[in-house]
Amino acid sequence: MYKVFVNEKALFLTNKIEKETNFQLFLLESIDIRKLVINIYTDKVENAYLYYPDEKAILTKLKEKVPYQKAGGGLVYNKKGEVLFIFRNGKWDLPKGGKEKGEEMHLTAMREVEEETGVGKLKIKRKLQKTYHIFKRNKVYKLKITHWFEMYTEHEGDLVPQMNEGIEKVAWLNPEQVKEALKNSYENIKLLFEEEAK
């Protein structure tokens, strides 16, 4: 099952039909995805399952219906065990950004972290889960698939927010501050920290 966030609400892609839930069930094959997304945005649909019988093909089927883009991002730790956060659009987020043509995903993630925060000397520790969310740009709904990597750095220099990307602030947050920041963050970012806690 995949969890795709639409305006902070989860849209579940599933190959199982659950009986008696508070979720509305839609058939991925025949749904007008744009209408569904608008209904989620306008609170006409609260919780939704998108059903398709072949679990391996669900994401491919969704990508046929919604233009998508790939991104890479980093959950970056320093030697004090603090996590690198950015503050943009009134919320705490992790550095991430779009993949360039021909670029390998781990290099996208490292480049974006460095561009958005000024933090270099990055080492990838491991690949984390992918997150999915639908957003609107230029009147078109798109699916963003973000590949996340846990990284480590010994960078001790200044943090430099990439202002032209709307980043107001970059900060190293300790575990207590991370808990606080996650109260004002995105659902897909919270998922990464749930994964870290396992």
Would you state the pLDDT for residue 197?
66
Domains recognised in the chain with CATH numbers: 2-65 (no CATH), 70-197 (3.90.79.10)
What's the alpha-carbon Rg for the chain, to the nearest Å? 18
Beta strand 91-93 pairing with 83-88: antiparallel
Strand partners, 31: none
Spell out the per-residue pLDDT of the chain, length 198, in tens: 899 999 889 899 999 887 766 778 899 999 999 999 999 989 898 889 999 999 999 999 999 999 999 999 999 999 999 999 999 999 999 999 999 999 999 999 999 999 999 999 999 999 999 999 999 888 899 999 999 999 999 999 999 999 999 999 999 999 999 999 999 999 999 999 987 766
Residues 150, 125 contacting (CB under 8 angstroms) = yes
pTM (predicted TM-score): 0.91
Q: 3-state class of 56 per DSSP? A: helix
Would you state the pLDDT for residue 29?
93
Whole-number Å distance between alpha carbons of 193 and 156: 24
Would you state the pLDDT for residue 139?
87
Structure tokens given for 107: 């290099």
Strand partners, 11: 4, 48
